[in-house]
Structure 1
Amino acid sequence: MDQETTFVLLAAGAAVTVAGALGGVARTRAPLAWHAHLPWNGIAFAGVASVLFAAVHLFTLFRPA
């Protein structure tokens, strides 16, 4: 992967993480709504995992050779 792809993955992971966190908050406010049945914890975990992957990959890209 190049730098541009890694930055896109980092931004997408951050957006998914924020969406997962907001979904978890919405689930506690309206526990019987349609969005309360979505796996917000899993969505947030996937976002955090992709952010960590992108961060480690950026570290290896910019590491001095």
Structure 2
Amino acid sequence: MDAETTWMMLAAGLAMTVIGAIGGVLRDRAPLAWHAHLPWNGLAFGGVGCALVAAAHLFTLLRAG
């Protein structure tokens, strides 16, 4: 992957994390609404994982060149 793809992956991971956190808060406010049944914790977990992989890859890209 090049640096541009890694930056996009980092941005996508952070966006997924924020959306997952907001969805979790909304689930607590309205537990019987349609959005309460979506897997917000899984989305946040996937976003954190994506952001960590992208950050580690970006660190190695910046260190190498």
Report if TM-score (shorter chain) is over 0.5. Answer: yes
TM-score (norm 1): 0.96
Task: Give the counterpart letter for 1:59 in structure 2.
Answer: F
Give me the identity figure in percent: 69
- CA RMSD in angstroms comes to 1.0
Corresponding pairs, count: 65
TM-score (norm 2): 0.96
Task: Give the counterpart letter for 2:49 in structure 1.
Answer: A
Q: Following superposition of structure 1 onto structure 2, how do residues 28-47 of structure 1 map, counting pairs within 5 Å? A: 28-47=28-47
The Cα of 1:64 is off from its aligned counterpart by 4.0
Structure 2: unaligned runs, 5 residues or longer: none
Structure 1: unaligned runs, 5 residues or longer: none
